[in-house]
Amino acid sequence: MDYIQVSITGIPFGESEILMAQLAELGFESFTELEEGLQGFVPVDLFNEAEVNRWLQTYSATSGIFYRTERIKEQNWNAIWESEYEPVIIDGRCLVRAPFHKPVKGMKYDLVIEPRMSFGTAHHETTALMIRMLLNENVEGKRVLDMGCGTAVLAILAFKMQAGSVAAIDIDEWAYENACDNVVRNNASFIHVVMGDASTISAPSFDLIMANINRNILVRDIPVYAEHLTEAGILFVSGFYEEDLESISSACLSVGLKCVDSRINNRWVGAKFLKCPQGK
């Protein structure tokens, strides 16, 4: 199936997630956030340029938003990513690279991730924040869940850090298939990949749950995460801006999760919450 790639620049700061939600209603299946803007992908037979124009005009008066379209053949996805995707090194210890990149000497963790149309390449601030938090956590022998896994980059890192068991869940079919392929690519044999939302969490408890998802979904699903955390379990969250940390913390506190660390990168937040005993 051919796709239309819509490249958008001039988006007001903080409005990308809202715009993605609006475009998703028009049939867009996936998005890539770039330094200069946003790329959206929609099947050719679902592309309605008049409707896209209508949404974008709500921004153009104040931001000078601009977009261009390009028809992309399905077999060209790898060529697109190969031309745009650079390897990323996190904290001098973790390399996130595509299959066509060479390994880098001295890296403790070498993650081979083919992103296709899925989120999670470590280029975006939120993924990098989550990787940094995970690198600083001892997960050896622990049960780990990567919620909204995208490429499964976090699940694969947890596996390489010798987690006892790892599950990865994403609601998007592209992400699910991509995650499965990346699990095989990294010989991460025991990662269990599931397509679905928080209601598909089947294990009774996890020692660590990671959720790099937008604010509204986080607030909705935090009670589910808390329910599936072990006593003194840990929740990593990202995917929201610093002004949203208070509402995320409030939602967590209401179910017994206390914020013990947070960090900011270009207004994006990564935060660590600890499940406290009742009454603490």
Tens digit of pLDDT per residue, the chain (280 long)? 788 999 998 887 767 777 887 888 888 877 777 777 888 888 899 999 998 888 887 765 555 788 899 998 776 666 665 666 689 999 999 999 988 889 999 999 999 998 765 566 777 888 999 999 999 999 999 999 999 998 999 999 999 999 999 999 998 888 899 899 999 999 998 999 999 999 999 877 999 999 999 888 999 999 999 999 999 999 999 988 899 999 999 999 999 999 999 999 988 999 999 998 764 5
Residues in the chain: 280
Pairwise CA distance, residues 54 & 49, whole Å: 9
Which tokens in the block code for residue 20? 């993605």
Amino acid at 253: L
**pLDDT tens-digit readout, 25-49:** 888 877 777 777 888 888 899 999 9
Beta bridge partners of 70: 5
Which tokens in the block code for residue 49? 């340029």
The domains of the chain, with CATH numbers, are 3-72 (3.30.70.2170), 84-275 (3.40.50.150)
112 Cβ contact list (under 8 Å, min separation 6)? 97, 98, 99, 182, 185, 186
What distances in angstroms separate CA 243 from CA 76, 146, 253, 269, one per listed residue? Answer: 39, 24, 17, 9
Q: Hey, which bits of 48-189 come out as E strands?
A: 66-72, 88-90, 94-97, 109-112, 143-147, 165-170
